[in-house]
Amino acid sequence: MRLFSIFIMILSLQIRSICQELPPEKVYNQKLYALGITGGYGNIVVRDQVFTTYLYKANYNPFGLHFESKKDNQKASFNLEFFNNPKLKTETNKGFEYKGELGEFFPTEKDGLSIGTLKSTFWNFNYTQLFLLHKTKEKKIKAFLGFDFNLIKFEKNFLQFDYANKLTDRIYNLGFVFNLERNFNSRHLLMYNLSVPVINNVKRTLYNPDSNPGTVTQSKYGFLSNSVGLDSRVTYRFMLSPKFSIRAIYTFRYLRIKFPSQEDWAYNQGDLGLFFHF
């Protein structure tokens, strides 16, 4: 323990010496790449009129893996995000099942599903490329404009009459991104990011293994149609050291799919992340 304490003391003195020798901006902002992991808590709301008009809700735990790169006048990021398979529930149809002398209509549960529940999986791959639009003389404020590409998969397992069904959304979209940075000092940074999809391809597949081993699929391309929405997030970054930072992120996302029947879903989530800079 004593040797370990001496080692930590020597290491901290070296880091302090480096920080005293270099200006803060060089100490904390010279790294070009970052790897990060995030996790948190969120709430999702879904209404998909392919199978019901009910509003379903669930809490969930999101997880994310991130890679970032930056240069003087541009920056890029790769992000993979997924949920922990939440079960969405509705209170709209309480008491809807019938049990009586004639038997039971609409089974209360099958394969872990009921009329009032959905089992879901979700993941999203995102690539964003941003270019510097404007910066102040002190570089305290920077504005970026660019584009992003998203691949989203949202799968819902639901019960309808005696049959368990699976409805899968696969969404590819290309959109505009606006990003704003506010540097308070070398350690504290606040960012706002707004993404709006413009060109999209939506593919919806319905699979009913009980009644029909085949699938029903519809796919459409669109320009500001078929799928509309936005992704808005606020990020606070604090540099723990020249190589490590922590981030607090709030995200709101809304998406509407217009065929074959309208689907709306939105989520709010908060994340904490640890990033390694190199």
pLDDT digits (tens, 9 = 90+) for 108-133: 677 778 778 888 999 999 999 999 99
Of the candidates 258, 191, 193, 268, the one whose C-alpha atom is nearest the C-alpha of residue 225 is 258
Query: Which residue ranges make up each domain of the chain?
Result: 1-30, 31-277
Q: Does domain 31-277 have CATH number 3.40.50.10330?
A: no
pLDDT at 75: 96
pLDDT band at 103 (very low <50, low <70, confident <90, very high): low
Q: Identify any residues that bridge with 206 across adjacent strands, giving them in sequence order.
A: 167, 216
CA distance 164 to 83: 22
Answer yes or no: pTM beyond 0.85. Answer: no
The string of pLDDT tens digits covering residues 181-240 is 999 988 899 999 999 999 999 999 988 766 666 678 888 888 887 888 999 999 999 999
